[in-house]
Amino acid sequence: MLLNCGQPLPLLRHTDVPPRVIENFILTGYRFPNYSLRDCLLSAFRPTNETGNFWTHFLPVFVFSYYFVDVFGWEGAPPPDAPFFYPLWNYFIGVFCLLIASSMAHLLNSMSLVVREVCFFVDYGTISAYTVGSSLAYYYYIHPRAGIVETGGHNSSHMDLIHEPVGTFFSSYAIPDFSVFFDTLYIPCACVVAIFCVLSCCNTRHRWRKHRYVIRTFVFLLPFLVSSTPIFYRLLTRSPYSAASSSFAASTSMPSLFYRHCLWLLVSAIFNISKFPERLAPGRFDIWGHSHQWFHCCTFLSILDELHMIKTEVRAILLSPSLLLPPATLSPLPGPTIASTYGVMLLLQTTIISIIVWFSWCANNIYGPERDQLAEEQVKKRLKCH
């Protein structure tokens, strides 16, 4: 092992680092597995095989935030702390934590083998929490039972509906068989699936490692399918808004944004599984241009299209707010509350943290002795510098 006293730790080849650290077809640019926190932070400005992975998720935090806050300046928008925006803020928290956790995992994972495992456990946990944040936004802004309440197949004004019996209200585009799922099971299912994903992905760090990228990719296909059911429903039925309304015009771009969102997810999955282009030329894309960097770029573009899609639905709602959240006596869909948004995310995050703690404890039992041995060797080498 090379030792440069007082100098940045040398970058190593795949033959000089523990097998646990090696990435397929990445031959050089590895950091020493016992970097200090300072060394890790400085490595963000040094070309390593993780530098691009860090920046391709850290810089998007600012891009996402820029487009996110735009909605609060729209005409007719309530204050940012209004209950109407609770689901949107939960979505923001999910995306923000995902991007920060992923970028930090790639930056700090060389501190030790144990820290490396914990970093990626947290990464998987934030991805799962993000899917539930998306589900909350879909539920309150793209919910199939939301929108114009109709009686007898004709639109009625909100004032006319007040004088009708509660039982007469229904949405003619809604399929009654799905009402139980959307009203009572959708969010719980999203949470259960998110927990399943955390457990599965954390397990791939100890089991099924040969096919870990394929397993992780397909595992996260499940929360996508579950969380997107309100969108699938909307695409297979008609819009809840009258074709002559400004709300209908505002939401017309929703399908194309969703299709683009799916396209970017598909491309990111292909990069993650295929390990292209480094598979074609091992060693050539070690620092810049390898598949995980493209995977990050494509996943962020999918998130950005998802944000724009949600914003189109928020704009449509703001153009006719009484149609989405009429008084509780007129609709089975109550407005967002702290318990139904922040409370759900808090309960989910608590469960995910418990899972991460358990897997981290197991990782410490497995890699702790090796970490301690490497730390002792580093102390001896530093003493030789003096």
Pair of tokens at residue 371: 């970490």
For residue 106, say whether it is annotated as part of any ligand binding site. Answer: yes
For residue 296, say whether it is annotated as part of any ligand binding site. Answer: yes
Distance CA 163, CA 134 (A): 36
Distance CA 284, CA 287 (A): 8
For residue 143, say whether it is annotated as part of any ligand binding site. Answer: no
Phi, psi torsion values for 144, nearest 5 degrees? -65, -20
Give me the sign of the Cα torsion angle 177, 178, 180, 185.
positive
Residue for token pair 């944004």: 257
Question: Torsion angle of alpha carbons 142, 144, 147, 150, nearest 10°?
Answer: 170
Distance CA 46, CA 25 (A): 21
Distance CA 38, CA 132 (A): 34
If 0-12 CB within 10 Å is exposed, 13-18 middle and 19+ buried, where does residue 199 land? middle
Distance CA 131, CA 327 (A): 29
Pair of tokens at residue 78: 């309530």
Distance CA 132, CA 314 (A): 18
Pair of tokens at residue 270: 């292909």
Crossing angle for the helix pair 344-384 and 113-141, to the nearest 10 degrees: 160
Phi, psi torsion values for 193, nearest 5 degrees? -65, -40
| Binding-site residue ranges | 106, 292, 296
| Binding-site residue ranges for Zn(2+) | 106, 292, 296
